[in-house]
Amino acid sequence: MKIAIIGGGVSGFTCAICLQKAGFSPTIYSNKWSPETTSDVAAAVWYPFTVEPLDKVTVWGEKSYNTFYSISVESPESGVHIVPGYDLFGEKMPKQWWQHFVKNFRKLDAHEIPEGYADGFSFSTPIIDMRYYMPWLEKRFLACGGKKITQKIHDIANVEADIIVNCTGLGSRELVNDEEVYPLKGQIVKVDAPEVKEFRQDFKNGPNHLAYIIPRKDNCVLGGTTDANISDLSIDLDAAQAIKKRCAALIPSLNEAKILEHKTGLRPARKAVRLEIDHSFSVPVVHNYGHGGAGVTISWGCAYEVCDHVKSLVP
């Protein structure tokens, strides 16, 4: 049974590893690889952000949280670490669907909530340092005999396979003519701030004026912006200064932090993730794209479901 995966981002590699575990030998086709994919730009914190549909995200999100937790324990070299921290909000928040399974969840007490905020959650979550995680995924895939082919696929009909898994993210707009997938541009700033040991996320000013602080091994990621339908990757230095200022309002030492790098990326947004079998081609295609701002967060749960679909297609 020949299985081809199109797309070499976090979705493609995670599906490939799950399929290998199930006894398949997939080949990944991609025009770009790490460190040149959107996945490489992700902050990346386990957190469900700008992704739908909720009923499925809850399942994919919980399975992925648990898998990342195991990876952090068994393979710290993967760049996955469980980090404590807290979220802040400008309004009272309802119960979150994820609060029963994330580690150490509790609502912040009134005296812990800074002035100007109305609510907050404290919990521990996986931080997935993509600089280490993408090579770690690739190494696992290659060590199990996986094959990579560098090629842009223009027509699915030209891929030699019995089953195709489509993990092309934003590329699906062109590849399968899906106009529902669109770019949601994000900008981040990497700074030198080894003193920061906890994450912070501030949602008070809405998705385009977030403040998030994600400590990693070699740097600290400060974010961020969320701009719909902008598809250039230019860096906005004013936006970067504003991000740093918002983050420094939460952790003042960040005012002095040296900027190491600016990064932008285009999240593959869609009103709902497309994860389904499509029989409109000459061979079955399992789509897995449109993960918005949570492609890492739900990567394992989606890959398990892709694997189940592939198994269901095997006679």
Ligand X SMILES: Cc1cc2nc3c(=O)[nH]c(=O)nc-3n(C[C@H](O)[C@H](O)[C@H](O)COP(=O)(O)OP(=O)(O)OC[C@H]3O[C@@H](n4cnc5c(N)ncnc54)[C@H](O)[C@@H]3O)c2cc1C
In degrees and rounded to multiples of 5, residue 132 shows phi and psi of: -100, -35
Smallest gap from Cβ 68 to ligand X, in A, equals 10
Q: How far is the CB of 115 from ligand X (least distance, A)?
A: 27
Alpha-carbon distance of 209 to 221, in angstroms, equals 15
User: Contacting ligand X (CB under 6 A), which of 63, 267, 270, 287?
Assistant: 267
Name the minimum Å distance from CB 137 to ligand X.
Answer: 10
29 binds ligand X per the rule CB under 6 A: yes
Q: How far apart, in whole angstroms, are the C-alpha atoms of residue 29 and residue 134? A: 16
Length of the chain: 315
Phi, psi of 110 (to 5 degrees): -50, -40
Q: Which of 7, 26, 79, 183 binds ligand X (CB under 6 A)?
A: 7
Contact 296, 46 (CB under 8 A): yes
Sketch the per residue contact string, 111 through 140, with ligand X: x for CB under 6 A, - otherwise. ------------------------------
List the structure tokens of 199: 């994450």
Residue 45 DSSP label: B
Structure tokens at 175: 């590849």
Q: Does 9 bind ligand X (CB under 6 A)?
A: yes
Is residue 181 a contact partner of residue 287, using CB atoms and an 8 Å limit?
no
CB of 258 to ligand X, least distance (A): 20
Binding residues with ligand X: total (CB under 6 A): 41
For residue 114, the 8-state DSSP code is: P
**Residues of this chain, 212-231, that bind ligand X according to CB under 6 A:** 224
- Summarize as ranges the residues that interact with ligand X (CB under 6 A): 6-12, 29-32, 37-39, 41-45, 152-153, 167-171, 175, 186, 188, 224, 265, 267-268, 289, 291-297
